[in-house]
Amino acid sequence: MPGSRRLLPALLMLTIVSYAVALSLPWHHRWDPALGAYRIVDGIDGASWLLGVIVLCAVLAWLLSRDQAGFYTKMAAAITAFLALTGMVVDYLNWQAVGAEANSPVFVGPGFYVALAGSGVLVLTTVLGWRWIESW
């Protein structure tokens, strides 16, 4: 597919932008004993692991923009998508457990959902790349 050579890196750049935006938005709340109240946690404070996924996505975008994408690029994309989705699930479950310990409702902010949407785009990119790279 001729258009896929430009579409896959563009989708990865969309993923990177959504992750970067998500890091600046509120993700969760955390009990702060010094304040005696809850403090809203931004993505960079609560989900800094996403920086590693951003770097992996940037490397994948660079690899997919070149003519040498092949089996190893497909495997790297699949592993990156797996890590991103696993990180999102673990982050959600961890904050649910934190909320249960503090006996309070859990606030899942817009940053979490923006990152979840970015992970969906990453999975879409991986599936399309897995199907299209062999036909290049």
pLDDT digits (tens, 9 = 90+) for 60-115: 999 888 766 788 888 999 999 999 999 999 988 887 777 666 666 677 889 999 99
> φ, ψ for residue 38 (rounded to 5)?
-85, 145
Q: Which residues contact 62 (CB under 8 A, 6 or more apart)?
A: 9
Report pLDDT for 74.
87
E strands, the chain, in order = 26-32, 37-42
Residue 2 has pLDDT above 60, yes or no: no
CB neighbour class for 121 (10 Å; exposed up to 12, middle 13-18, buried from 19): buried
pTM for the full predicted model: 0.84
Task: Judge whether 41 and 24 are in contact, CB under 8 Å.
Answer: no
Percent of residues, the chain, with pLDDT higher than 90 = 39
Report pLDDT for 4.
64
